[in-house]
Structure 1
């Protein structure tokens, strides 16, 4: 891989800020707009992936300092300017974000947040378009909920005694402390949904969110299938701080002579691109040095286009590789970004059998940029805590194929249903059971299951910074240094 000196990158950013000569001498007197708005425009002009699609980000957009200042002053809030610079928010760029407090945000990226340890899906009750019920999909290890004994599959239909509706569910479940009122699902002994109902119970549990750091390596197990060992891994986020734990999971698989792997990414919203390349290298091992995935930047930053390769080690550690030619990946509509990168990148080399639901559909990577001379976390403007996480590059595989915005379609469609969530890692859990049946060679069961329930999308924050695929700032700077 060829590397560019950091100085070149800094100059490149400087050029991005000063393409028009009349802006070379900008100062506080010339620019009367908010310093935050100034940062927002400069940052987006420098690195935004869809810069060419936004006329207001053109390098020659403003003829004078005054015109530039008037433009910035026309936006009352930095968020307003930021949204004005986003390309097709509803369909293309659903993911770029402006960050009011980068200190809290950095904690989120490290996996630390206030949480009670519950992840859940919300649905409309059978026969209703307003009444809502929830089902616990995941209880994080060593969390408040875990210590209280809550379990995947438990159903609730009220909070603090108030029945859930589409209009109140966000406010009720976004509280730091609340009481879940549990219910049961009654299918009335039939296969149809028309006569199903949610039955309230007197059982409840109060939960209070605490500062919590999630180890994304949620669960591992070894399953014997006709004398062959199947490794099963529930992996919930590509967090660079837990690369060693991920590698240790594959050491367990390696030590048990795993011949098949089921990679459960159904609740994995993404994370570090570099960690995603490590995971691909752990699944395989026979492609070291070959291109795993590529990042393609905007037209002004084509010099930064780069390849991520299969590797055999990181941070002085050897990667524990399984040398597999086939992997099973479990997905839902929550599987996004780096999860999709893994499927897309591996599929160019080995057989990837995707089971579950179509993924989110996000092929772009982002980076955290700060109000500093070179947009990094060095010499940050102390007058505010704003940062941005814009999309800056498209991720494609070695064959130049990107993840479609509609998501990756599973080879075997099987939608999670609150009628039968099952226990993660149990051989009868529906998605895992399908993978094991295919490994055993007894045929693909329950193909193309119809969508019985569609989860309701709300503004409830369940997992920090969902649907994220980011480029590590330090790692990006290291790539730009001369090795």
Structure 2
């Protein structure tokens, strides 16, 4: 009898194990101890399953033992070019580029005769680069003693991201040659917030406003309002937005800019539609509501008081025009003609917000920057993953030396002004066919994208 009960007990135990095994789903994973890599990776997986646009493509059984960055990459869709993750306690995990390390960008060009020339195309105000005397239009002959060629361009760009100081040999371009060569040392450092640049051009009584925007940070609405107040007081009839180096930022700031340009919009006009995964669903936001997501922003009515009421706008673009800057282009189209001059934009037709551990004290220091939504305009148009193509394709490097931004003879601005004032554009001052071999702000360089709010 004792053996019978023993056998019966074993059968019950086996049956229980079988039932538990049958009821276990692929989603179940063991609980990992706090502080372990596996615990962090499980948190990342749970967060991504809830928010990630391509959550349904994530692997069912990832390897929780991978290093955190590798684990995160293993979750990403092959369609995803933009999601990234950083450890807030480790600066080495943040995206690095020449621009965010030193405050400048350059392009390597090949002239018609085969000569390779490296030009400085952007220098941020109050940056390490500007403090060292670097200026847009300068030519870089050497980086850390190495002459730049088409074959070593990528390697040199990657090596810069590991440095805290770089030595450059630079000069000025004149009549097809480099003059006034000198050595410049640029130290790693912080670049201060970039100011707006505006100008007003007039010809035959017709006034054109020009506005250069480097990015779309929260809190910019007061500065934007002031610029548009000046434009409106001057009575401008045309507007040129220079977004060629604008990586994006806050969608709310982009909405604020758009609120001051076209005629026929109100606070309740639809500005943007977000489409997410099965959890996120679809969200629609008016101009007023989107602007209000920036807690420091002026209201729609305060901004719209300075509206120019235009029927068309010219936008200068490049392959560095991304995210919120692309939203400006796409989301103005339902309300006015958008005439794009320059190059095809980057193609970030998506939005996201930062996901981090909100517990106090914080148990996980990693911060996720995932793609969460695809974005569309009031007419339901979006899907520009390959970029937004310009109506007028213009290579800003066709005129060397590069002129300062806002100079009416600068290639992209000159082209837009010529179209406004119906003049024949000057396409190539040197008569060369310029080929772009490499740019330091290519997508591989990394950038922070833009905020959902």
Query: TM-score normalized by structure 2?
Result: 0.80
**Cα shift at 1:264:** 0.2
Q: Which residue of 1 aligns with 2:408?
A: 427
What whole-Å deviation, never above 9, does each CA across 1:31-90 have from its counterpart, x for those lacking one?
986121112111110101112233x2xxxx4xxxxxx6xx443x42112221121111xx
Greater shift in the superposed pair: 452-461 or 316-325: 452-461
**Cα shift at 1:101:** 2.0
8 Å CA contact 1:170, 1:460 repeated in 2: no
Partners in 2 of 1:274 and 1:235 — Cα distance?
A: 15
Q: Among residues 175, 181, 187, which one is paired with 2:163 in the alignment?
A: 175
> Does residue 1:94 correspond to 2:81, yes or no?
yes
SS of alignment partner, residue 394 of structure 1: strand
Q: How many residues align?
A: 411
Q: Which residue of 1 aligns with 2:72?
A: 82
What whole-Å deviation, never above 9, does each CA across 1:411-431 have from its counterpart, x for those lacking one?
111011164222211111111
| Inter-CA distance 124–30: structure 2 relative to 1 (3 Å threshold) | same
SS of alignment partner, residue 360 of structure 1: coil
Q: Which residue of 2 aligns with 1:284?
A: 262
> Does residue 1:354 correspond to 2:335, yes or no?
no
Across the aligned residues of Structure 1 and Structure 2, the Cα RMSD in angstroms comes to: 3.5
Alignment of 1:460-471 (within 5 A): 465-466=447-448, 468-471=449-452
Partners in 2 of 1:95 and 1:451 — Cα distance?
A: 33
> Does residue 1:389 correspond to 2:376, yes or no?
no
Partners in 2 of 1:418 and 1:452 — Cα distance?
A: 6
What whole-Å deviation, never above 9, does each CA across 1:112-131 have from its counterpart, x for those lacking one?
x9654323223467777xx9
**Structure 1: segments with no counterpart, 5+ residues:** 1-19, 62-67, 189-197, 373-377, 473-483
Partners in 2 of 1:36 and 1:248 — Cα distance?
A: 46
Q: Which residue of 1 aligns with 2:57?
A: 53
Structure of higher CA gyration radius: 2
8 Å CA contact 1:325, 1:350 repeated in 2: yes
| Inter-CA distance 414–446: structure 2 relative to 1 (3 Å threshold) | same
> Does residue 1:269 correspond to 2:247, yes or no?
yes
Q: Which residue of 1 aligns with 2:388?
A: 408
Partners in 2 of 1:450 and 1:311 — Cα distance?
A: 49
Query: TM-score normalized by structure 1?
Result: 0.75
Q: Which residue of 2 aligns with 1:13?
A: none
Q: Which residue of 2 aligns with 1:298?
A: 277
Partners in 2 of 1:264 and 1:281 — Cα distance?
A: 17
Partners in 1 of 2:423 and 2:349 — Cα distance?
A: 35
SS of alignment partner, residue 442 of structure 1: coil
> Does residue 1:42 correspond to 2:42, yes or no?
no
**Cα shift at 1:295:** 0.8
**Cα shift at 1:275:** 1.1
